[in-house]
Chain A
């Protein structure tokens, strides 16, 4: 099937009148869920189609279709051409694309796809049932539990008029455990998640299932009696998941070139010191340090090979994230950051795996250096502004008093201005962990990303109670 589609796309592309990109996308996904002993998900989805983008007279036209016949694809190509030509009459600035030697040719199959695809669904389902049962019995105050497993198999063929011709396959499994605690009128939640690119075993690279169960139960029970935290400007330790969220939300979005063009805070800061010299921040299509990062991507959706892009090097801003259009505008090489969620979406500039590189400190030393602060983990939602002001929720927050790790407090929101916070970093640990592979980034479309890093110590605004 893949060969037949590829040949058909090549044939149609050869007749295109303008620069054209054709992207066949076949996505199979399955999700299994058990909630309080009942099966609430036994789902399978299969979407297949082609997105065609045409650059005519300096304007984009995009059409998509699930009709994979020759006639259906030719019609979509004509639609995209007509939309581009019609738009060109109104478009003021004509688009150009950066030329690149990094156009992908050949097959790019990330390991784990076949393993995961052929692993019996019964085996995965039994695992989910057992995990939910164990979690619901882990502590007396667990009122209900949920275990959800999902897996996505991505199969893409990308061709462009100027030579990209590649086939990409990868699999992304994800596991989510939620415990609901109840004690009288108080209710709480504890959650553990993991999402990777690879096979089943990649899910348990960092810890076994028992640790996920214990972690979710411990959080739910602790939150039933946790007091509210005290608000204000605090010295904090951010765990790798929070460092990932900071890297992604607070920095990553502000250096996406489309955001920069709109006037993000990073627009005026190229080649300036924007962070402590302890901070080196990157975005990579590869899984740096160890396999399985959830945003792994060998080739982007413009057919450009993905590389590691260093955004901040020892505190200095040295690169934005680009697609081919923005790269031409800024006179740089595309960084392989053009991504589309489904075939009916056009590629946008998106992150992949975003992280801060490890440093030389130990976590113990970093905690010992705090008189009154917090250890912050358990990322909730996160958002950033063009100003670099960000917020993110944190559900696993512990007090640090006189250099010692203390009790949990209720979940908090932390906030700051991205570059100010990075300037305040005074310690970076030797550890490294990918820890944001579950869930998605949203920017009009979804994207599967990951993020992580070491532990860092910095200053943040913590939203807590006022007396």
Chain B
């Protein structure tokens, strides 16, 4: 079995082959982002195991800038001759482009090297171990008889990635993670609920069993809570957002509107508003890419190799931080912030990792307290619809949600739609819970009570 260092060395060697091929001409800057992924997974469908899978692959993405002209190619070949050919083709591709002074690769910095979030115990996980843990997922889901599973899956991934560029700058990382999910519905003799899904991701074997048990308890509770639904009453007013809905609705809007490229292009609604109040002062939103306990978003360096850092994007309602990659930073006359997103198959975009959405409270606001503050109305958990981060309009069908009557859970809700405007909603936050809940993608959020939402029952 290869050690992480063996794999990293091979990725760096192959990246070097590509960089050398490109650097035969003056005025050429190149960057190679390389990944090696070893994945094993097992799938359960309905009432039985369905397939066991394995895949090992390497991917190389080479970005070349020839006199300001951009070319990018990706290959999954490890053969030296193919890598040289691809590197050469990238230059030809760039020659077709038009120049821009903003195309850049990262400068060499002192912060370079190897990072890991790696558990050797996951590296040695056998197919039999994976069957065992998937069986645990299934058994935990089926602890409640009124649940039908559509699909459950567990995957163990060993991932190694490197970035090296013609400025002599390089970074390397290795990580393990084991992720699982179950998708299903509540089911009785007379009814079938909407789908819901839940799961988790850990980087080490020690936490795997307890996290499976915790997430599947949440899954059971959501599906049984969706039984016997009826439409909500029509109204316009306050709605309590479940943490899943908070991430879905607010998280994506923040990511779009705090994106430096969208600021430069004038399509962010928060253009020229850094330091200004864009949301209620009760709200703070951070990114935490270095949090190892949420491995799906752990990211020691960005797509361009810049070291990442924690940032407060919105601080007590004020826009505090704009994310940049090298391109948007140069356009804006600032420095890249470590927010270049993407992988070897794509050019660097701009993104944020491991969002934490939290309240600014003088005192503890429990989940029960915030429910009592709503009194009577809709608690929105899952939102199946459209949310336009540009206009702020959102509209969709509620799923796995429920109705509160005088602060107490009354019944599940179906055939009900919600709509509103995100930017107005952000200003109309009435209360933010103190408890942070981790959602399936790794983002953390509390319950948030917002006003100005239209609720339309069927």
Give CA–CA (A466, B102) in the complex, Å: 47
- When the two chains form their complex, are residues A49 and B76 in contact, meaning their CB atoms are under 8 A apart? yes
A346 contacts which chain B residues (CB < 8 A)?
51, 53
Taking a contact as CB atoms closer than 8 A, the residue among A79, A461, A462 that contacts B415 in the complex is A461
B90 contacts which chain A residues (CB < 8 A)?
44
Give CA–CA (A60, B45) in the complex, Å: 12
Tell me how far the C-beta of B169 lies from the nearest C-beta in chain A, rounded to whole angstroms. Answer: 22
- Interface centre among A36, A42, A385, by most chain B C-beta atoms within 10 angstroms, is A42
Give CA–CA (A87, B53) in the complex, Å: 10
B187 contacts which chain A residues (CB < 8 A)?
263
Give CA–CA (A412, B393) in the complex, Å: 9
For residues 71 through 97 of chain B, which have their beta carbon under 8 Å from a beta carbon of chain A?
A: 71-78, 86, 89-90, 93-94, 96-97
Q: Mark A239-271, 1 if CB is under 8 A from B, else 0.
A: 000000000000000000011011101000000
Give CA–CA (A383, B384) in the complex, Å: 7
Tell me how far the C-beta of B255 lies from the nearest C-beta in chain A, rounded to whole angstroms. Answer: 16
Taking a contact as CB atoms closer than 8 A, the residue among B52, B71, B185 that contacts A84 in the complex is B52
The answer to the question of B417 belonging to the interface, with a C-beta cut-off of 8 Å to chain A, is yes
Known contacts A129-B98, A262-B150; is-contact A187 B194 (Cβ 8 Å): no
Give CA–CA (A287, B181) in the complex, Å: 36
With CB as the reference atom, state the residue of chain A lying closest to B45. A258
Tell me how far the C-beta of B155 lies from the nearest C-beta in chain A, rounded to whole angstroms. Answer: 11
Give CA–CA (A332, B266) in the complex, Å: 56
Give CA–CA (A228, B424) in the complex, Å: 14
A35 contacts which chain B residues (CB < 8 A)?
265
- When the two chains form their complex, are residues B74 and A61 in contact, meaning their CB atoms are under 8 A apart? no
- When the two chains form their complex, are residues B148 and A466 in contact, meaning their CB atoms are under 8 A apart? no
- When the two chains form their complex, are residues A410 and B386 in contact, meaning their CB atoms are under 8 A apart? no
For residues 28 through 78 of chain B, which have their beta carbon under 8 Å from a beta carbon of chain A?
A: 42, 45-58, 69-78
A261 contacts which chain B residues (CB < 8 A)?
45-46
Taking a contact as CB atoms closer than 8 A, the residue among A84, A262, A393 that contacts B395 in the complex is A393
For the A-B complex, the count of residue pairs with Cβ-Cβ distances under 8 Å equals 245
Which of these binds chain A: B212-220, B315-323, B450-458? B450-458
Give CA–CA (A189, B53) in the complex, Å: 42
- When the two chains form their complex, are residues A463 and B55 in contact, meaning their CB atoms are under 8 A apart? no
A465 contacts which chain B residues (CB < 8 A)?
236, 419, 454
- When the two chains form their complex, are residues B51 and A60 in contact, meaning their CB atoms are under 8 A apart? yes
- When the two chains form their complex, are residues B385 and A391 in contact, meaning their CB atoms are under 8 A apart? yes
B347 contacts which chain A residues (CB < 8 A)?
40-41, 43
- When the two chains form their complex, are residues A188 and B55 in contact, meaning their CB atoms are under 8 A apart? no
- When the two chains form their complex, are residues A410 and B76 in contact, meaning their CB atoms are under 8 A apart? no
- When the two chains form their complex, are residues A386 and B267 in contact, meaning their CB atoms are under 8 A apart? no
The answer to the question of A45 belonging to the interface, with a C-beta cut-off of 8 Å to chain B, is yes
Give CA–CA (A38, B332) in the complex, Å: 14
Chain B binding site: helix, strand, loop or mixed by DSSP? Answer: strand
- When the two chains form their complex, are residues A189 and B71 in contact, meaning their CB atoms are under 8 A apart? no
Q: Mark B378-410, 1 if CB is under 8 A from A, else 0.
A: 000000111010111101110100000000000
Q: Mark A111-140, 1 if CB is under 8 A from B, else 0.
A: 000000000011001000100000000000
- When the two chains form their complex, are residues A39 and B395 in contact, meaning their CB atoms are under 8 A apart? no
The answer to the question of A186 belonging to the interface, with a C-beta cut-off of 8 Å to chain B, is yes
Q: Mark A32-75, 1 if CB is under 8 A from B, else 0.
A: 00011011111111111100000000011111111100000000
The answer to the question of A432 belonging to the interface, with a C-beta cut-off of 8 Å to chain B, is no
B358 contacts which chain A residues (CB < 8 A)?
none
B390 contacts which chain A residues (CB < 8 A)?
180, 187-189
The answer to the question of A318 belonging to the interface, with a C-beta cut-off of 8 Å to chain B, is no
- When the two chains form their complex, are residues B266 and A144 in contact, meaning their CB atoms are under 8 A apart? yes
Give CA–CA (A63, B86) in the complex, Å: 26
The answer to the question of A296 belonging to the interface, with a C-beta cut-off of 8 Å to chain B, is no
- When the two chains form their complex, are residues A381 and B386 in contact, meaning their CB atoms are under 8 A apart? yes
Taking a contact as CB atoms closer than 8 A, the residue among B76, B98, B131 that contacts A47 in the complex is B76
The answer to the question of B438 belonging to the interface, with a C-beta cut-off of 8 Å to chain A, is no
B458 contacts which chain A residues (CB < 8 A)?
233, 415, 461
- When the two chains form their complex, are residues B96 and A122 in contact, meaning their CB atoms are under 8 A apart? yes
Give CA–CA (A143, B346) in the complex, Å: 26
- When the two chains form their complex, are residues A45 and B73 in contact, meaning their CB atoms are under 8 A apart? yes
With CB as the reference atom, state the residue of chain B lying closest to A40. B347
Which of these binds chain B: A90-98, A147-155, A272-280? A90-98
- When the two chains form their complex, are residues A125 and B391 in contact, meaning their CB atoms are under 8 A apart? no
B454 contacts which chain A residues (CB < 8 A)?
231, 463-466
With CB as the reference atom, state the residue of chain B lying closest to A47. B76
A393 contacts which chain B residues (CB < 8 A)?
385-386, 395-396
Residues of B within 8 Å of A, CB-based: how many? 81
Tell me how far the C-beta of B29 lies from the nearest C-beta in chain A, rounded to whole angstroms. Answer: 15
With CB as the reference atom, state the residue of chain B lying closest to A91. B49
Known contacts A461-B458, A463-B385; is-contact A385 B195 (Cβ 8 Å): yes
With CB as the reference atom, state the residue of chain B lying closest to A461. B458
The answer to the question of B418 belonging to the interface, with a C-beta cut-off of 8 Å to chain A, is yes
Taking a contact as CB atoms closer than 8 A, the residue among B48, B56, B78, B128 that contacts A92 in the complex is B48
A233 contacts which chain B residues (CB < 8 A)?
458
Q: Mark A425-467, 1 if CB is under 8 A from B, else 0.
A: 0000000000000000000100000000000000001111111
A90 contacts which chain B residues (CB < 8 A)?
49, 131, 135
The answer to the question of A223 belonging to the interface, with a C-beta cut-off of 8 Å to chain B, is yes
Known contacts A187-B269, A413-B385; is-contact A48 B96 (Cβ 8 Å): no
A65 contacts which chain B residues (CB < 8 A)?
56
Known contacts A125-B96, A389-B397, A413-B397; is-contact A39 B415 (Cβ 8 Å): no
The answer to the question of B234 belonging to the interface, with a C-beta cut-off of 8 Å to chain A, is yes
Q: Mark A347-385, 1 if CB is under 8 A from B, else 0.
A: 000000000000000000000000000000000110101
Known contacts A39-B100, A231-B419; is-contact A391 B397 (Cβ 8 Å): yes
Give CA–CA (A168, B93) in the complex, Å: 27
The answer to the question of A5 belonging to the interface, with a C-beta cut-off of 8 Å to chain B, is no
Q: Mark A262-306, 1 if CB is under 8 A from B, else 0.
A: 110100000000000000000000000000000000000000000
Give CA–CA (A228, B454) in the complex, Å: 11
B86 contacts which chain A residues (CB < 8 A)?
46
Known contacts A60-B50, A91-B49; is-contact A413 B386 (Cβ 8 Å): yes
With CB as the reference atom, state the residue of chain B lying closest to A84. B52
Taking a contact as CB atoms closer than 8 A, the residue among B50, B75, B128, B414 that contacts A389 in the complex is B414
The answer to the question of A406 belonging to the interface, with a C-beta cut-off of 8 Å to chain B, is no
The answer to the question of B166 belonging to the interface, with a C-beta cut-off of 8 Å to chain A, is no
The answer to the question of A83 belonging to the interface, with a C-beta cut-off of 8 Å to chain B, is yes
The answer to the question of B235 belonging to the interface, with a C-beta cut-off of 8 Å to chain A, is yes
- Interface centre among B50, B73, B90, by most chain A C-beta atoms within 10 angstroms, is B50
The answer to the question of B309 belonging to the interface, with a C-beta cut-off of 8 Å to chain A, is no
Give CA–CA (A182, B390) in the complex, Å: 10
Give CA–CA (A86, B127) in the complex, Å: 8
With CB as the reference atom, state the residue of chain B lying closest to A87. B52
With CB as the reference atom, state the residue of chain B lying closest to A124. B96
Give CA–CA (A389, B192) in the complex, Å: 11
- When the two chains form their complex, are residues B57 and A66 in contact, meaning their CB atoms are under 8 A apart? yes
For residues 399 through 458 of chain B, which have their beta carbon under 8 Å from a beta carbon of chain A?
A: 399, 414-415, 417-419, 454-456, 458
Give CA–CA (A127, B384) in the complex, Å: 36
Known contacts A125-B96, A410-B393; is-contact A48 B76 (Cβ 8 Å): yes
- When the two chains form their complex, are residues A386 and B56 in contact, meaning their CB atoms are under 8 A apart? no
Give CA–CA (A43, B71) in the complex, Å: 6
B164 contacts which chain A residues (CB < 8 A)?
none
The answer to the question of A101 belonging to the interface, with a C-beta cut-off of 8 Å to chain B, is no
- 8 A-B pairs with least C-beta separation: A463-B417, A393-B386, A413-B395, A231-B456, A391-B397, A60-B51, A83-B52, A262-B150
- 13 extra A-B contacts, CB within 8 A, seeds A91-B48, A263-B187, A417-B415: A65-B56, A87-B51, A143-B265, A144-B265, A180-B265, A189-B388, A261-B46, A263-B192, A265-B192, A386-B150, A411-B386, A463-B419, A463-B454
Residue pairs across A and B with Cβ atoms less than 8 A apart, 10 shown, are A42-B93, A60-B51, A62-B54, A63-B53, A86-B127, A144-B265, A182-B267, A187-B269, A391-B384, A391-B396
Q: Which residues of B contact A (CB under 8 A)?
A: 42, 45-58, 69-78, 86, 89-90, 93-94, 96-98, 100, 102, 127-128, 131, 135, 148-151, 184-185, 187, 192-195, 234-236, 265-267, 269, 345-347, 384-386, 388, 390-393, 395-397, 399, 414-415, 417-419, 454-456, 458
